Structure 1
Amino acid sequence: MKPLTTLVAVLVLFVFIISFSLSQANAEQEIDSKNLSGLESTHSPQLESEKKALPEFKSEDKNQRPLSHTKFSSLQVPFIKNEGQVDDIVYYANTFAGTVFVTKGGLTYSIPTENLKAADMQFDLEKNSGLSAPISVAVIREEFVTTKNLQPSPHQRSKTAVNYFAGKEENWRTNISTFDSVDLGEVFPNVDVRLKAHGNNVEKIFEVKPGGNPDYIRMAFEGINGLGVSDTGKLLIETDLGTISMSKPVAYQYIDGVKRLIDVSYEVGSNSYGFLVNEYDPNVPLVIDPLLASTFVGGSSQEIGIFISLDSSGNVFVTGQTTSSDFPTTSAVYDENQNNNRDVFVSKISNDLSGLSASTFLGGTNFDTASSLSLDSADNVFVTGRTGSSDFPTTTNAYDQILDDFREGYVSKLSNDLSTLSASTFLGGSSSETGRSLSLDSADNVFVTGETLSSDFPTTAGSFDQNYGGRGDVFVSKLSNDLSTLSSSTFIGGSEFEFGLSLFLDSTNNVFVTGRTTSFSFPTTAGSFDQNYGGSGDVFVSKLSNDLSTLSSSTFIGGSRNERGSSVSLDSADNVFVVGGTSSSDFPTTSGSFDQNHGGSFDVFVSKLSNDLSTLSASTFLGGSSSETGRSLSLDSADNVFVTGQTVSSNFPTTAGA
């Protein structure tokens, strides 16, 4: 029985999901990933069947579950009534992929994506630093070509609780009114329109009543370069960032209680579209239902909240960043990093994935991002990331309530229902920091890792290293559960750049950190697997005592070129698993592993080390002939290893039935 020898199942979407078997007995276990197909919510499978695809994860392993975009695409997202928090609009919906604003003049979509041209130029930067590609935002306005005035009104109050912890406490808003849909009324003669928002799309439902005519329907865009129709009938909306698709329309009538599908297609002009409808019964209401999908065709869309945890009842918590609710004033493409147009969101989803229970937005007047989420034993929710907002919400008695630089780490604690910001603190020095990963020990102390450029980043007496080592160091910090006390804090680094990207604790509360180093002098320990820096950037894995006073063991993993460790986790025997990316054909693999041959310019690696980091027990490549990178890793209750990441290889290894 050889570890990391079997590829059990894999699904390639925007991310891939794999499972490695640790024994022959588990090799026959397949993930029911058929339910993950389809990205457009109206036409995707029922969520009840989708939950069968969720493996059973160990209760102590709460960080960053592998869960696909598709599970969120069908999730209904509420519309929020403007109660003073946003100017110039009536309703808006913050989906996981962008924001739609409903005004009396039409609809405005604010859709973020990686700037593909910039991403190409900065591919090396991403590999070298662990930073994501630049984010840009496409702002598109869609108008109803009609003489009628829109009269948006809410329909069916939503059960989703929405809260805003934005800026100072006097500006915080909780339990904002939300609705499942918005009626626009009779927009065209005898044609009513209703809007629904879902996980990654917006649905416009046109109802042509008797006496109406689908030919009356005409929609026009601002902020686009052109329109077209694909071979599969999708509407293609050309923008400076790429092509956004609108799903092939569906039309139907209920005749004698039976749903009858009607042939329908798009009819397009240079910047407007309508519908060509085949024969139908004009005496019965006709429904036409297209979706605006958030996906950019031919390029990578911005990842939605990929930082996922479960509470003790199995509810799913997601965090990430979204375009802020500030209404964009122009129809254009802009650089989100320059326009500071990001807020953190934290969402709670029912354990059967059927409903969005609550969604909270966290931020200030500048950019705010989230990198990691975890829960304590009482199911309170902790989030870390970075902020450039001096008015990022902090709480009385928090460890640090003052932003020292334009970019600083933060840690925030929310109640399980997301209605209360229980504690929130900055974490940083006089230069720049990012909180990358967060976890809690058995006593509910909070551990955070990331990177800092501050020589005065707060460290504590007796910690492993209180001296800033170079051009950028890893930090590991331990805070009390109420975030009032920095119990211990240390640097880890050499004379060059380091990035702390993931943190996890073993069963005895030792702290494991992985990331990337470019320092020959990065601290390693005697007896560790590899004490020699191998290339232009290596993975590191370091083990610290719970009080951060001792570097118990530390090792490089790498070949002669570039590596990055993205995620670390442990199995039930406290073996250490690391995933990331490598461009080294001589990256260390082990005999009998799944793939010992480097396949492309950048491959995923998955490696297993002993708890003392002295032995590389198993190690494999995973990839096709182009580029891949591994983003996150987790283990289920049977110690199968699940990896998520990105691939652009058409021959990335997949399995039958996936």
Structure 2
Amino acid sequence: MRITKLFIAILLLFSGSVQADGIIENKGQFDESVISRVDFSTHSIFMESDGFKVLLHDQEKWAKMIMHYHDNLMHNHSSTIDDFVDTLHFQMLKYSFEGANFSESKYEEPSEAYYNYYTGNDTSKWVGGVRKYNKLTFLSIYPHIDLEYEVIGERFKYNFILNPGAKLSDIRFKIDGHDGVSVQSDRIVMKTRFGEFSEVMPLSFEVNDGQKKLIQMKYIDQGDYIGFESIFFKSKVKTIIDPELIFSTYSGSTVDNFGFTASYDDEGNLYSGGIATSPTKFLNGAYPTTPGAFDVTFNGGEPNTFACDIAISKYSSNGQNLIYATYLGGNANDYPHSLVVDKNNQLIVFGTSTSANYPTTSGAVDRFYNGDEDIVVSKFNANGTALIGSTFIGGFGSDGINDNGDTRYFYADDYRGEVNLDNAGNIFIATSSSSFNFPTTSGVFQPGPSGVQDGVIISLNPDLTAIRWSTYFGGSGADAIYSIDISSDGDLYIAGGTSSRNIPTTPGAYSENQLGETDGFIAQISADGSQVKQATYYGTSGYDQILQLELGKYGNVYVVGHSERNLPTKGIVYSNNNGKQFVSKFKPDLSELLISSVYGSRGNIPDITINAFLVDDCNKIYVSGWGSNSEDIPGKTLSNMPLSADAFQKTTDGQDFHLVVFEEDMADLSYATYFGGNQTGDHVDGGTSRFDKRGIVYQSVCSSCPENPLSSRISDFPTTPGAYSESNPSPRCSNASFKMAVVPFNLPPSISPQNFVTNVIDTLNIQIGDTFSFNYPITDPEGDSLYVYFDIPSSLRSSLISYEDTMIGKGSLNAYFSFLFPCGNAGKSFRIDVRAEDRGCPNNTDSLTSIIIQIDSTPLLPPPDVLCLNFVSDQELRIDWEQTPASEYFNRMALYRIDPSGDTTILTYSLNQLGGSYTDLDVIDPRNRDYTYYIVVENICNEWGVRSYLLSSTRESQIPVEETYLKTATVNGKSIEVIFLKSKEDDFGYYEIYKGTREKGNYKFLTKISNIDDTIFVDNNVNVNTTSYCYQIRVVDDCGHLSAFSNNGCTIVIRGEALNKKSEVPRFKFDLRWDDYITWDGGVMDYELLRSVDTGSLRPIVRLADPLVEYRDSDLDFDWGGYWYSVLAYEGPGSQDATSRSNDIYLIQPPLVFIPNAVTANGDNLNEVFGWSDVFVREFEIKIYNRWGEKVFQSTDKNANWDGEYKQGDLTFSNVYFWIVRYRGWDNNVYIDKGTLTIVN
């Protein structure tokens, strides 16, 4: 069975949010208009019965007020407490969904903890056991459409779930309360006093048997309202809108943890490398290592520095599981620069270390630390449980670190360099060294150093037991190699930056001579390291560096870097004038620059530092980098970077990632987006990340670092639902990682209106008589050539009006078919096979579908909804009918008559669907002899439908409309419910409701109800405490006939008073009386009196047989002075077993206190202590003073007494004392009594 749905998920982006705890259910603690709410640091969201509201406030002022209250008023940290006056501004945005029904809901994913709300003095607002939830769904707000609210970390999403049968056009909403709104195809931008906020709608997707399939969706501006539009939507499916972000996660570390480098394997798993500090640096914690991993404990670090180990995590392809995580390092500091994974899913880590005891393996190239920073290379087994190989590489100086000012430009450029592999699994390292004795091998082109810092290239065997070859590369200045790639014939290509005037360039190269202060360079090295085959400078007269290098499908050399000058463009390319990031393409021999372009914000300095670079098999170009507005980072212009219309994130706080994709040869911008949080600076602390050949980026990030560590944990980086760590548990930074498919990678063609995938069959049900046409737009996402083939069986071709076997086009085309099926094909089915082939890059792809056409019988047509019989005279009848429901399958209708003898006659045919009438003169005494009429409709295949209801002449003469029965009129809170029986009339028209009062009668028409099943009427225009209201019902049929009035129903009003008479026993009581209920067929059986105190529920205290309608209640609790009363009437037997409840009344007994005026403290155990008596007292306080005004006793316990003791062991002597008593009862009045007390010894 095929079940598909469509989802539309919309993300609200409000800057500055801190993660919410969840959706709080309203059980009475909030205003009654609020169903539930969500609280963030910058705003709150209130779900209501027609949509939701977003309450914004000024976060900076709010924080200032909180700090002032905390520091000054709570703890008095300042020397003086100044008066603090400020104004906190708010703004409310209101989302209203037109015509939506929010009556049915369900909460999901409850919190384990519950919450209690005791706010204010109104105990009815006190509630306990309140849970918080991650998800709240309102079911069927529109037909077949659910609305789901969801809290994910610091983000709020609302999702429309369109089930089969839903109409996308039903969803319409408007937003009020803003200062201006812009509706774009992929987002809504609202202006407020606090800035601009966005609602982002990514791509939609269908879910079919658990499989997601993207569908394009966009917003449409409909004037006052906003809706959705998609050419791919079909009401038979269920669809979702979701981002192209595959996953994003924090590391889950509870210690400070920086992000450096990332890579991937063939299964799409992500490997992240960073550093984690000591568990005692900020708070006790740890990196989340996994059981059995290579190293699960922190190893130490250099004192007086940011002590750290390398931290490695491997995440599953969907980011939901941590496969393994381990520390890697020794007792000093260790840093990862670059990661790569071999064909056996074994991770190779290139980094640097100052740890003398960094873990090395037996037989490794070098097991001993050489001084300063050493290069380290380590290789894990596939499970991360052990090292296959691990070694030091270095000399006496600094190795692996780019620490020269000529080449170190951006923050963290120190930790550049790259590790890569050839097809045999040999390991290549490209980096820098300042050691004069770096280990090189014989036969290489440069065995010794040339300047203050040189590039170095090392080739190692797969298990790190031997250096295959090793060489310097550089000149007399500073040189740094950042990137390395290996050609199909084994040659190496390297790139980086240099301030040397004499690096080993070659004749015929693009530029043999230095061009400026610091230049980029590219070199081709022989597979054995023995020669520089080609080498060139690249740049301008100012500062330039190449940061990444990639070889294209045909061996061309692509580089990406940045410049402080205007690097010229070449070719017909996309570019941004004055852009400071460049992408260039050279011939394999580096003799010619083929294309070059620049992009960026058009500032004076580079915008981003680049971490990942790819040229895919179709020669599309991908770049990932980050920029910041920090003072120690050159790029400060990130806000004007190029973006595409379908960008995942179109706004930036100036400190985010920027990802961009260019078409082949930089011909156009394919995709560009920002990515990052909105509170902190997202960056990388050094190292490389990677794209795979499908264009998916695997990026390591240092995220969510607060300016003031330990002040608060921040989780502003965008993570995905279900990711391993959706929020940041670190006291400071976290090594986040994200995996994003930035562009589709040669997707197969799509066949609309439904996007088919291989072997999915769509069934089209077509009815006999239809002229059925369907138009399938077939598109290729990349605009490649399309070849579409159709196989229509010969048995179907006789029904074809138009048809094509094969179609050829580019980008998109339409396949149009039209059928006309005769009546004889009912029950048959036909199959059309469709194959759409994309002959694009890198491989041909196709989409296959088989469309099953099921020929259904023409539907049987219903009769008219309304038939009326009227007596023209005693011997003449007229039958009238309304039009039948419009149908293209209509042929004719017939009016039948059943005579008193039982014979059936067709009186007339009608050949149209309009209403009509027929006068029957062929009747005799129809009031006493029964003539019955009905109508049947015939379809175009000569099939008769069901007959209409029967019209009887005798019944219409005697009882045209039967009256209903009013079951009860009962009070429900402040309203009255009138409940009556459903009408039995086939031609029911509507109910008429009439209203009067018990005292006056005087019934007047109130309203009418047109739904036959709507038999409960709620009257809110009443005062249930003062007036008994009476109601009657009348039924009207579609022909205008009236029934008799129903019985009347009059509500019960209960009244009462409190009595306090000393002369009577019992002294305290309530007298209650109420109206009798009017009228039931079975009469009133008895009345049940209900009572409760304030905190309880109403319970029966007595049941009185009718006609008793009064009662005296003297069974009172002297400790409780307020009581609720109501009465419930029960109908007598033999009818509807109905009940009617009265209004609720609240009665109060005023409080009293009795106090004596003398005590005989003489030891005879009689009247020894001073006590008092009270009734109906809620709060109590007594104070006793001696003649000198000293207070000798005080108590708030109304059940206490005083034994005459003033001070411990000091009993009073005979004396006169003064007392004052203050008390309050349920009437909320405060009473004060005063008097004297004489103590006689």
TM-score by length of 2: 0.30
Pair 1:490-2:467 in alignment: no
Cα gap change, 1:555/1:588 in structure 2, threshold over 3 Å: closer, same or farther?
Answer: farther
Match in the other structure for 1:282: 128
* Partner secondary structure for residue 515 of structure 2: coil
2:504 aligned residue: 523
* Aligned residue among 599, 607, 619 for 1:628: 607
What are the superposed Cα offsets for residues 19-65 of structure 1, whole Å, 9 maximum, x if unpaired? xxxxxxxxxxxxxxx9998999xx9xxxxxxxxxxxxxxxxxxxxxx
SS in 1 for 2:371: coil
Question: Which one of 439, 448, 452 corresponds to residue 433 of structure 2?
Answer: 452
Find 1:437's aligned residue among 402, 412, 418.
418
What SS class does the counterpart of residue 650 from structure 1 fall into? helix
Q: Which amino acid aligns with 1:311?
A: D
Q: 1:395 to 1:261 in 2, by over 3 A?
A: closer
Query: Aligned with 1:543: secondary structure?
Result: strand
SS at match of 1:645: strand
- Following superposition, the deviation at residue 637 of structure 1 comes to 3.5
Aligned to 2:623: 643
Q: Equivalents in 2 of 1:337, 1:568: separation in Å?
A: 37
1:502 aligned onto 2:483: yes
Task: Check 1:549–1:235 CA distance in 2 against 1; reply closer, same or farther (3 A cut).
Answer: farther
Q: Match of 1:258, as an amino acid?
A: Y
User: Is residue 594 from structure 1 mapped to residue 574 from structure 2 by the alignment?
Assistant: yes
**Corresponding residue SS for 1:628:** coil
1:111-135: CA deviation from partner (whole Å, max 9, x where unpaired): xxxxxxxxxxxxxxxxxxxxxxxxx
SS of equivalent to 2:561: strand
Q: Could you list the per-position Cα deviations for residues 219-246 of structure 1 after superposition, in whole angstroms to 9, with x for gaps in the alignment? A: xxxxxxxxx95896697899xxxxxxxx
* Cα RMSD for the two superposed structures: 4.0
Q: How far apart in 2 are the matches of 1:353 and 1:416?
A: 18
* Alignment pair present for 1:561 and 2:575: no
In the alignment, which residue of structure 1 is the partner of 2:35? none
Cα contact 1:555–1:613 (8 A) shared by 2: yes
The alignment partner of 2:480 has SS state of: strand
- Structure 1 contact 580–604 (Cα < 8 Å) conserved: yes
Q: Which has the larger radius of gyration?
A: 2
Preserved contact between residue 204 and residue 290 of structure 1 (Cα < 8 Å): no
> Residue 352 of structure 1: CA displacement?
2.7
2:642 maps to a residue whose letter is P
Moved over 6 A (4+): 34-40, 201-213, 233-238
After TM superposition, give the deviation of residue 322 of structure 1 in Å: 3.3
2:345 to 373, 376, 379: 379
The offset of 1:555, in angstroms, is: 0.6
SS at the partner of 2:266? coil
SS at match of 1:433: coil
Counterpart position of 1:108: none
Q: Which of 374, 389, 402 lines up with 2:355 in the alignment? A: 389
Compared CA separation, residues 210 and 336, structure 1 to 2 (3 A): farther
Correspondence 1:427 to 2:381? no
Q: CA deviation at 1:485?
A: 0.6
Distance 1:544 1:303 in 2: 37
Match of 1:344 among 302, 310, 314: 310
Aligned amino acid, residue 604 of structure 1 = Q
Code of the residue aligned with 2:336 in structure 1: it is A
* Aligned-pair CA distance for 1:386: 0.9
Q: Cα–Cα, structure 1 residues 507 and 281, in superposed 2: closer, same or farther, change >3 Å? A: farther
Q: Name the residue aligned to 2:235.
A: none
Q: Say if 2:29 and 2:127, in contact at 8 Å, map to a contact too.
A: no
Give the conservation status (yes or no) of the 8 Å contact 1:376–1:440.
yes
Query: Are 2:624 and 1:614 equivalent residues in the alignment?
Result: no
| Deviation of 1:281 (Å) | 5.8
**2: CA distance, partners of 1:437 / 1:39:** 37
Flag the 1:39–1:325 CA change in 2: closer, same or farther, 3 A.
farther
Alpha-carbon distance in 2 for matches of 1:456, 1:36: 59
Q: 1:303, 1:606 → 2: CA distance? A: 32
Q: CA deviation at 1:318?
A: 2.1
- Higher mean C-alpha displacement, 352-361 vs 362-371: 352-361
- The answer as to whether partners of 1:558 and 1:588 remain within 8 angstroms in 2 is no
Percent sequence identity over matched residues? 28
Match for residue 556 of structure 2? Answer: 575
The higher-RCO structure (CA 8 Å, 6+ apart) is 1
Structure 1: where are the runs of 5+ without partners? 1-33, 44-200, 214-227, 239-254, 263-278, 294-300
Match of 2:673 in 1: none
Amino acid at match of 1:643: V
Partner Cα separation in structure 2 for residue 560 and residue 507 of structure 1: 34
Number of matched pairs = 408
Match of 1:322 in 2: 276
- CA distance in 2 between counterparts of 1:257 and 1:656 reads 36
Query: Is the contact made by 1:597 and 1:621 (CA closer than 8 Å) also made in structure 2?
Result: yes
Conservation of the 8 A alpha-carbon contact between 1:589 and 1:596: no
Q: Is contact 2:397-2:434 (8 Å) kept?
A: yes
Deviation at residue 559 of structure 1 after TM alignment: 0.2
Instruction: Indicate which of 608, 620, 642 corresponds to 1:653.
Output: 642
- Alpha carbons of structure 1 residues 406 and 423: separation in structure 2 relative to 1, 3 Å: same
TM-score normalised by L of structure 1: 0.56
Distance 2:493 2:453 in 1: 19
Q: Offset at 1:540?
A: 0.7
Cα gap change, 1:260 to 1:408, in 2 (>3 Å): closer
Q: Distance in 2 between matches of 1:394 and 1:207?
A: 54
Q: Is the 8 A contact 2:260 2:275 kept in 1?
A: no
Contact 2:613 2:624 in 1 (8 A): yes
Q: Aligned partners of 2:263 and 2:484: how far apart in 1?
A: 15
Q: Is the 8 A contact 1:210 1:283 kept in 2?
A: no
Superposition pairs for residues 21-420 of structure 1, below 5 Å?
Answer: 257-258=106-107, 282-286=128-132, 305=259, 307-328=261-282, 338-420=304-386
Q: CA deviation at 1:340?
A: 3.6
Looking at structure 2, the residues matched to 386 and 283 of structure 1 have their Cα atoms a distance apart, in angstroms, of 54
Deviation sequence 1:436-461 (CA, Å, 0-9, x none): 21011111111101100001000000
What is the rounded CA distance, in whole Å, between the counterparts of 1:357 and 1:460 in structure 2?
39
Q: Which residue of 448, 453, 459 maps to 1:472?
A: 453
2:302–2:331 Cα contact (<8 Å) kept = no
Task: Name the structure 1 match of 2:1052.
Answer: none
